[in-house]
């Protein structure tokens, strides 16, 4: 028989301790977010549909994005045993400088449309975390303002080679003068991809109001208050800011971009240069022969050519061919710190997060970006401890098996 007694209040209160209430609504909702997908759900509730879909969407049928995420899901880890992982070292070096974590913030366009703190929130959060921040040519904050927001951290610049070459050259000079240490020469956007969500939503800069836009905005007054009471939304690096996203991209990009342009920019840039948007082993080898400092395996987050190669699947072959000569970075599909650990184990020197950062920004501005970095850091640290790998440098291909659903048909 179980012995029973009248509960003693002192014993009950020992076992049941009430959490101290937090009346800061933003802090409370961000604390409840335990994954990047949780931040995405908050972002979706708090952001008008057109702005959210611009971030969340991809090109055509969005197959490239779905496949990239599935590739990370199809990972099997192989942990070591009986190793001291009471402390793990998540720091690394990339492009001649340090990073406290093995990821940085990727370049994103139209960022202040998602949430008005925009690139300033991203750059300042990156600086506080000791990781690099990358500003896009299509950013909504100037090169100089990003430097002011992250004065002591590492700032990188992503360059589109535009039809008006002198515009691109001027951006290169300004980034160099502001102390940006790495340039991403982007090669996967000769024109804009078919981003059908944006077309259906009538997405443009500045936002065009329709009945649906107004109805959608009624449920998100905080977004409109922020939008209307902060400085004008414009492309800080471009002189023309009107039109749809596709029209802007097609006026800014140039389908005649060539290796000669890379040579010219390389001659102008005093720091490290990496080519972003590499999608074949052959191109990676050619770029290594040309002496670039790095290649970024990326299909632009699935936003350009749909059905493009999956960067995570491409990674091992590229590392085998050029990993001794250039630093290999990758992006696309990263939604968990375990994804980052898997990429590093397969040979990536570094990774970049785009959507994950923007979900945090939309969920809570600078505090939301901080929460994104916290979540990924916790996941990286936990995964490394469970793998029993005490440092980034000790991650190896033996720790990961890439399972595969997309197998080429026989005879091909």
Neighbours of 345 (CB within 10 A): 23
Q: What is the pTM of this model?
A: 0.92
Instruction: Tell me if 238 is assigned to some domain.
Output: yes
Number of structural domains in the chain:
1
What distance lies between CA 400 and its chain's CA centroid? 23
pLDDT, position 409: 61
Whether residue 393 contacts residue 357, with contact meaning beta carbons closer than 8 Å, is answered with no
CA distance linking residue 272 with residue 291, whole number of Å: 11
Looking at the DSSP bridge assignments, the partners of residue 327 are 294
pLDDT, position 202: 78
Whether residue 318 contacts residue 284, with contact meaning beta carbons closer than 8 Å, is answered with yes
Residue in 137, 341, 165, 316 with CA at minimum distance from that of residue 237: 137
pLDDT, position 219: 78
pLDDT, position 310: 96
* Residue ranges making up the domain that contains 350: 25-402
pLDDT (tens, 9 = 90+) of the chain, 412 residues, equals 778 877 777 776 776 666 777 767 888 999 999 999 999 999 999 999 888 999 999 999 999 999 999 999 999 999 999 999 999 999 999 999 999 999 999 999 989 989 999 999 999 999 999 999 999 999 999 999 999 999 999 999 999 998 889 989 999 999 999 999 999 999 998 888 888 888 888 777 666 666 676 677 677 888 888 888 888 877 877 755 456 655 666 667 788 999 999 999 999 999 999 999 999 999 999 999 999 999 999 999 999 999 999 999 999 999 999 988 999 999 999 999 999 999 999 999 999 999 999 999 999 999 999 999 999 999 999 999 999 999 999 999 999 999 887 777 665 4
pLDDT, position 225: 84
Four-point Cα dihedral 119, 329, 77, 87, nearest 10? -70
Q: Is 300 a catalytic residue?
A: yes
| Phi/psi at 23 (5° precision) | -90, 5
Instruction: Tell me if 8 is assigned to some domain.
Output: no
CA distance linking residue 1 with residue 14, whole number of Å: 26
Residue in 203, 11, 29 with CA at minimum distance from that of residue 114: 203
Query: From the candidates 78, 87, 286, 300, which is the catalytic residue?
Result: 300
Q: Which CATH number do you get for residue 83?
A: 3.20.20.70
Instruction: Tell me if 236 is assigned to some domain.
Output: yes
CA distance linking residue 156 with residue 144, whole number of Å: 12
Instruction: Tell me if 314 is assigned to some domain.
Output: yes
- Tokens standing for 152? 């002591």
Instruction: Tell me if 410 is assigned to some domain.
Output: no
Instruction: Tell me if 409 is assigned to some domain.
Output: no
Neighbours of 397 (CB within 10 A): 14
pLDDT, position 214: 67
Instruction: Tell me if 4 is assigned to some domain.
Output: no
- SS3 sequence, 296-334? EECCHHHCCCCCCCCHHHHHHHHHHHHCCCCEEEECCCC
**Summary count for the chain: helices (H), strands (E):** 18, 12
Instruction: Tell me if 7 is assigned to some domain.
Output: no
Does the CA dihedral 110-113-244-141 come out positive or negative?
A: negative
* 161 upstream amide cis, omega within 30 of 0: no
């Amino acid at each position: 028989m179980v012995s029973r007694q009248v509960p003693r209040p002192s014993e009950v209160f020992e076992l049941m301790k009430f959490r101290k209430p937090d009346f800061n609504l933003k802090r409370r909702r961000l604390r409840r977010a335990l994954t990047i997908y949780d931040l995405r759900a908050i972002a979706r509730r708090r952001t008008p549909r057109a702005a959210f879909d611009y971030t969340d969407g991809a090109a055509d049928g969005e197959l490239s994005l779905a496949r990239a995420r599935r590739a990370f899901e199809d990972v099997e880890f192989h942990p070591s045993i009986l190793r001291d992982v009471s402390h793990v070292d998540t720091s690394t070096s990339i492009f001649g400088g340090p990073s406290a974590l093995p990821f940085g913030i990727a370049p994103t366009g139209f960022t202040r449309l998602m949430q008005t703190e925009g690139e300033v929130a991203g750059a300042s959060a990156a600086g506080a975390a000791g990781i690099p921040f990358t500003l896009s040519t299509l950013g909504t904050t100037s090169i100089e303002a990003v430097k002011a927001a992250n004065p002591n951290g590492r700032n990188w610049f992503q360059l589109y080679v535009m039809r008006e070459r002198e515009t691109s050259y001027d951006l290169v000079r300004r980034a160099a003068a502001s102390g940006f240490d790495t340039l991403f020469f982007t090669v996967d956007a000769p024109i804009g991809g078919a981003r059908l969500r944006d077309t259906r939503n009538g997405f443009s800069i500045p936002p065009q109001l329709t009945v649906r836009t107004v109805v959608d905005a009624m449920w998100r007054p905080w977004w409109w208050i922020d939008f209307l009471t902060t400085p004008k939304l414009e492309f800080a690096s471009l002189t023309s800011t009107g039109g749809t996203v596709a029209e802007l991209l097609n006026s800014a990009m140039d389908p005649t971009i060539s290796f000669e342009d890379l040579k010219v920019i390389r001659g102008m840039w005093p720091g490290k240069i990496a080519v972003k948007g590499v999608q074949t082993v052959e191109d990676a080898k050619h770029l290594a022969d040309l002496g670039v400092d790095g290649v970024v395996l990326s299909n632009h987050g699935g936003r350009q050519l749909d059905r493009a190669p999956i960067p995570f699947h491409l990674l091992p072959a590229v590392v085998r061919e050029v990993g001794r000569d250039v630093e290999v970075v990758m992006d696309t599909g990263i939604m968990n710190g375990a994804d980052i650990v898997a990429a590093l184990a397969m040979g990536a020197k570094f990774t970049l997060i785009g959507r994950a950062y923007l979900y945090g920004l939309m969920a809570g501005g600078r505090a939301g970006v901080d929460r994104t970095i916290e979540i990924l850091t916790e996941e990286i640290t936990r995964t490394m401890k469970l793998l029993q790998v005490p440092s980034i440098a000790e991650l190896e291909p033996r720790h990961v098996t890439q399972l595969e659903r997309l197998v080429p048909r026989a005879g091909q």
